[in-house]
Amino acid sequence: MNEKELAELNAKIDEYDDSEIQVLEGLEAVRKRPGMYIGTTSERGLHHLVWEIVDNSIDEALAGFCTDIQVKIEKGNVISVRDNGRGMPTGMNEKTGKSTIETIFTVLHAGGKFGGGGYKVSGGLHGVGASVVNALSNWLEVRVYRDEKVYFQKFENGGNPLGQLAVIDSCDNDIHGTEVRFKADPTIFTETTVYNYNTLEQRLRELAFLNKGLRISLIDEREEQVKRANFYYEGGISEYVLLLNKNKTAIHDVVAFEGEEDDISIEIALQYNEEYNSAIYSFTNNIRTHEGGTHEDGVKAALTRIINKYARSTNILKEKDEPLKGEDVQEGITMVISCKHPDPQFEGQTKTKLGNSEVRKIASDVFSEGFERYLMENPNAAKIIVNKCCLASQARLAAKKARENTRRKTSLDSINFMGKLTDCKSKNAEECEIFIVEGDSAGGSAKMGRDYMTQAVLPLRGKILNVEKARLDRALNNEEIKSMITAFGTGIGEDFDVNKLRYHKIIIMTDADVDGAHIRTLLLTLFYRFFKPIVEGGYVYAAQPPLFKVTYGKKTVLVQNEEDLPKILAEIPEKYQNSKIVNRFKGLGEMDAAELRDTTMSKSNRVLRKITVEDAMAADEAFSLLMSDNVEPRRNFIVENAGYVKNLDI
Ligand code: 2B7
């Protein structure tokens, strides 16, 4: 059947009809190549299972029938998701000859999403749904509460039904909805089957922001002390913006607009703060569009146009003045854009860029109309905002002048800088590496332990500037950042040229502890914002210093992480068990040059982790989301929330 025929067929089928579900493929394919369906079988893929199920509940909420979603992590890392929607249809499916529910869970691509009516928005990253989760589970149970009955079916070993759908109980007539419980298959998810509370919490909170009025709760029953979180935001993305700006000084109240055209809905909320960076978060069908796209472009273009128009008409921007640029009107803005589209096209390197061209105008119209009116009706706020944009423009022009001057003055080998960098001998960038090392003592050991032909060392002393708080021109005044830019040789901003990169491996070498993770996050954020192509080009790495050194007899074993230690200790021959010595490396600074070389730097022994664009995006997002002036919560956040930090510490 071709797409057109499928569409016609589906158009004929009523949305309540059980035969809407289409039959396309079997489940074995999913188990054979899980990556094709959920992207990866790492920790991220494991969590993906939860999102596939939760997305079905979200769709039911978007259809207007579900107000509550509960996600539970039970003992043994069993996930249970329950919603109070209509409950999955309990009848038969004509085409499969099975119940609709069995079809949903055993037939790949079965879903209303393929149909005409019913589900306006499909949320899942890959949109493949419940059958994939079933295929990748040890067991899965579904309960449907509907028509005063409780329906039940169980599947085992990758989706095999244990029996047919059956009524197992009755329930009150005001009880309705769907419950799905499953246990991920550890033979598929070989890295881990342990869910990260913070990962689930963060995303569920985001979903609650993006779907105003929806109640989402998370319960973690794995430990004695049960953890709970409840999310409910009447104001939706307006409250999101409020949270994002929580630790900043806002210069006016949050403003929000929404509109709909041809089933495409746009919501925008924004608030300017006193700082310099812009934090623009766009979403389509509840998925973060990191790379932006037409919804974001439309809003940004309208923002520039409306502010210029207002600034001119009020004479805040004089005739002789240059028009304000996009970056001027975005300085200090915090904005969330949420688009819901029945047929989104995702493009770009990480498929996180909305491509539908019709969205540009819709987004621009919704924003222009609302924002122009806001400026007219709130002259005080308007004046503060427009003044800020004009200041940004002036600063930009001044910085440009200053840059042009310094560019002439400074050359690559300024005296100050040469003192810091210990360069390598080779000039062949492909074989050259630069270790960015935290602290002088580690820097000293690194200098002595390096391979002087191909390894350069740049120790960072002071605190690396927090890029969240500074715009580009200020970042450029930071000594540590200046040394890095000079060392890399690429230039920055408009002058950036990745072909001039002097080292094809930029290796962040920090301690394997919280402070190390903190500094690494700062660096990643910095790279992501100001040197994006070096991240995209795969030039950035994290060194992985070992945590323990175990010595017995004449042998030394290095242990990379906490979890491996007991295993390694158990493997030590009996006769040494009483004479072993276990050493914990507290920091890089404590290792002498030989140790640092042998464990972390030498090309033959070391473990490097390549930083992906996704790692950097996660660092960037983590930072923007929970930045605060207070160092303590920020550090805690990094320790608890950022899954990538944990990964890095393996
Ligand atoms: C695409 C398929 C999976 N479905 C329905 C109706 C309600 C409904 C669902 C769901 C996850 C964990 C608890 C539609 C849609 C199947 O067809 S799936 N609720 N919740 C869910 O999966 N939650 C539905 C029309 C009329 N009555 C019910």
Mean pLDDT for the stretch of residues 267-293: 94
Q: What is the CATH number of the domain that holds 130?
A: 3.30.565.10
Q: What is the CATH number of the domain that holds 375?
A: 3.30.230.10
The pLDDT of residue 14 is above 80: no
* pLDDT for residue 410: 46
128 Rama sector, left if φ>0, alpha if ψ -120 to 50, beta otherwise: alpha
* pLDDT for residue 628: 38
Amino acid at 108: L
> Is 342 contained in some domain?
yes
158 CA → ligand 1 middle, Å: 21
* pLDDT for residue 350: 83
Residue whose CB lies within 8 A of the most ligand 1 atoms, among 178, 179, 182, for a mutation test: 178
Mean pLDDT for the stretch of residues 41-58: 94
Mean pLDDT for the stretch of residues 580-609: 85
118 CA → ligand 1 middle, Å: 10
**CA gyration radius, the chain:** 28
Render the burial of 86-101: b for 16+ CB within 10 Å, e for the rest.
bbbbbebbeebebbbb
Q: What is the 3-state secondary structure (H, E, C) of 336-405?
A: EEEEECCCCCEECCCCCEECCCHHHHHHHHHHHHHHHHHHHHCHHHHHHHHHHHHHHHHHHHHHHHHHHH
Q: What does the block give as tokens for 226?
A: 């049960």
Amino acid at 381: A
d(CA 549, CA 393): 55
> Is 447 contained in some domain?
yes
Pocket of ligand 1 (CB under 6 A): 15-16, 53, 56-57, 60, 81-83, 85-86, 88-89, 104, 111-113, 118, 129-130, 178-180
Task: From 194, 211, 231, give the residue that closes a domain.
Answer: 231
pLDDT, one tens digit per residue, over 528-552 is 878 889 998 999 999 988 888 888 8
464 CA → ligand 1 middle, Å: 49
Instruction: Tell me: do 219 and 247 sit in the same domain.
Output: no
**The length of the chain, given as a count of residues:** 650
> Is 580 contained in some domain?
no
Instruction: Tell me: do 221 and 358 sit in the same domain.
Output: no
Task: From 362, 396, 430, give the residue that closes a domain.
Answer: 396
495 catalytically annotated: no
CB 346 within 8 A of CB 354: yes
85 CA → ligand 1 middle, Å: 7
> Is 444 contained in some domain?
yes
The backbone torsions φ and ψ at residue 566, rounded to the nearest 5 degrees and listed phi first, read: -60, -40
35 CA → ligand 1 middle, Å: 25
174 catalytically annotated: no
Amino acid at 330: Q
Instruction: Tell me: do 49 and 128 sit in the same domain.
Output: yes
d(CA 382, CA 507): 46
Q: Which of 32, 139, 121 is nearest to 78 (CA)?
A: 139
Instruction: Tell me: do 222 and 260 sit in the same domain.
Output: no
Greater confidence (626 vs 317) lies with: 317
Q: What residues contact 231, with CB distance under 8 A and at least 6 apart?
A: 204, 205, 207, 208, 209, 215, 216, 217, 218
What is the dihedral angle through the alpha carbons of 361, 362, 365, 367, rounded to the nearest 10 degrees? -110
* pLDDT for residue 112: 44
The pLDDT of residue 281 is above 90: yes
Task: Read off the pLDDT band of 108 (50, 70, 90).
Answer: confident
> Is 480 contained in some domain?
yes
Q: What ranges in 489-538 are assigned the alpha helix state H?
A: 514-530, 532-536
> % helix / strand / coil in the chain, to the nearest 5?
40, 20, 35
Greater confidence (313 vs 463) lies with: 313
* pLDDT for residue 11: 46
| Averaged pLDDT score across all residues of the chain | 84
* pLDDT for residue 415: 41
321 catalytically annotated: no
48 Rama sector, left if φ>0, alpha if ψ -120 to 50, beta otherwise: alpha
Q: What residues contact 150, with CB distance under 8 A and at least 6 apart?
A: 143, 144, 167, 168, 169, 170, 171
The pLDDT of residue 643 is above 70: no
Residue whose CB lies within 8 A of the most ligand 1 atoms, among 53, 59, 99, for a mutation test: 59
Task: Read off the pLDDT band of 4 (50, 70, 90).
Answer: low
Instruction: Tell me: do 47 and 194 sit in the same domain.
Output: yes
> Is 566 contained in some domain?
no
Instruction: Tell me: do 254 and 199 sit in the same domain.
Output: no
d(CA 384, CA 387): 5
CB 214 within 8 A of CB 207: yes
Q: What residues contact 598, with CB distance under 8 A and at least 6 apart?
A: 605
Mapped onto helix, strand or coil, the DSSP state of residue 476 is: coil
**Alpha carbon nearest to ligand 1 atom 26, residue:** 16
Looking at the CA of residue 53, tell me the nearest atom of ligand 1.
Answer: 11
Q: What ranges in 123-178 are assigned the alpha helix state H?
A: 130-135
Instruction: Tell me: do 165 and 257 sit in the same domain.
Output: no
| Spacing of C-alpha 443 from chain mean position | 32
pLDDT, one tens digit per residue, over 573-592 is 888 888 888 888 777 877 88
The pLDDT of residue 109 is above 80: no
CA distances from 626 to 71, 235, 530, 634 (A): 23, 20, 20, 7
Continuous segment of H or E residues that includes residue 59: helix 43-62
**Alpha carbon nearest to ligand 1 atom 3, residue:** 111
Render the burial of 405-437: b for 16+ CB within 10 Å, e for the rest.
eeeeeeeeeeeebeebbbbbebeebebbbbbbb
pLDDT, one tens digit per residue, over 172-229 is 999 999 999 999 999 999 989 999 998 899 899 999 999 999 999 999 999 999 999 9
Instruction: Tell me: do 42 and 64 sit in the same domain.
Output: yes
Q: What is the CATH number of the domain that holds 426?
A: 3.40.50.670
Instruction: Tell me: do 226 and 241 sit in the same domain.
Output: no
Task: Read off the pLDDT band of 128 (50, 70, 90).
Answer: low
d(CA 459, CA 336): 38
Catalytic residue, from 17, 156, 513, 590: name it.
513
* pLDDT for residue 30: 92
Mapped onto helix, strand or coil, the DSSP state of residue 52 is: helix
Instruction: Tell me: do 227 and 244 sit in the same domain.
Output: no
Q: Which residues pair with 230 in a beta bridge?
A: 217
> Among 308-317, 421-430, 570-579, 627-636, which is the least confidently predicted range?
627-636
Catalytic residue, from 438, 480, 595, 621: name it.
438
Q: What does the block give as tokens for 492?
A: 């920055």
Mean pLDDT highest for which of 17-26, 230-239, 406-415? 230-239
356 CA → ligand 1 middle, Å: 27
* pLDDT for residue 450: 95
Residue 222 is part of which domain span? 28-231
Task: Read off the pLDDT band of 621 (50, 70, 90).
Answer: low
* pLDDT for residue 115: 34
Instruction: Tell me: do 202 and 241 sit in the same domain.
Output: no
Q: Which of 421, 423, 438, 366 is nearest to 596 (CA)?
A: 438
d(CA 495, CA 510): 29
The pLDDT of residue 619 is above 70: yes
Looking at the CA of residue 179, tell me the nearest atom of ligand 1.
Answer: 13
176 CA → ligand 1 middle, Å: 11
| Spacing of C-alpha 480 from chain mean position | 27
Looking at the CA of residue 111, tell me the nearest atom of ligand 1.
Answer: 1
Burial of 540 by CB count in 10 Å (0-12 exposed, 13-18 middle, 19+ buried)?
buried
Catalytic residue, from 239, 297, 331, 511: name it.
511
Angle CA 294–299–300, to nearest 5? 95
Residue by residue, DSSP assigns 233-248 as: -TTTHHHHHHHHTTTS
d(CA 166, CA 435): 62
Instruction: Tell me: do 306 and 214 sit in the same domain.
Output: no
* pLDDT for residue 462: 58
Mean pLDDT for the stretch of residues 127-150: 93
**Alpha carbon nearest to ligand 1 atom 6, residue:** 88
pLDDT, one tens digit per residue, over 458-503 is 998 755 655 555 555 566 667 777 888 889 998 877 778 899 999 9
The pLDDT of residue 6 is above 70: no
61 CA → ligand 1 middle, Å: 10
> Is 87 contained in some domain?
yes
Query: How many structural domains is the chain composed of?
Result: 3
CB 498 within 8 A of CB 426: no
d(CA 500, CA 427): 11
Catalytic residue, from 515, 536, 564, 598: name it.
515
Greater confidence (594 vs 461) lies with: 594
> Is 599 contained in some domain?
no
Task: Read off the pLDDT band of 58 (50, 70, 90).
Answer: very high
The pLDDT of residue 614 is above 60: yes
**Alpha carbon nearest to ligand 1 atom 1, residue:** 111
Task: From 211, 231, 251, give the residue that closes a domain.
Answer: 231
d(CA 504, CA 432): 6
Q: Which of 114, 131, 66 is nearest to 342 (CA)?
A: 114
515 catalytically annotated: yes
Residue whose CB lies within 8 A of the most ligand 1 atoms, among 79, 80, 86, for a mutation test: 86
* pLDDT for residue 646: 35
> Among 85-89, 356-360, 408-412, 634-638, which is the least confidently predicted range?
408-412
Using CA of residue 590, residue 595, residue 597, residue 601, what is the dihedral sign? Answer: negative
**Alpha carbon nearest to ligand 1 atom 4, residue:** 88
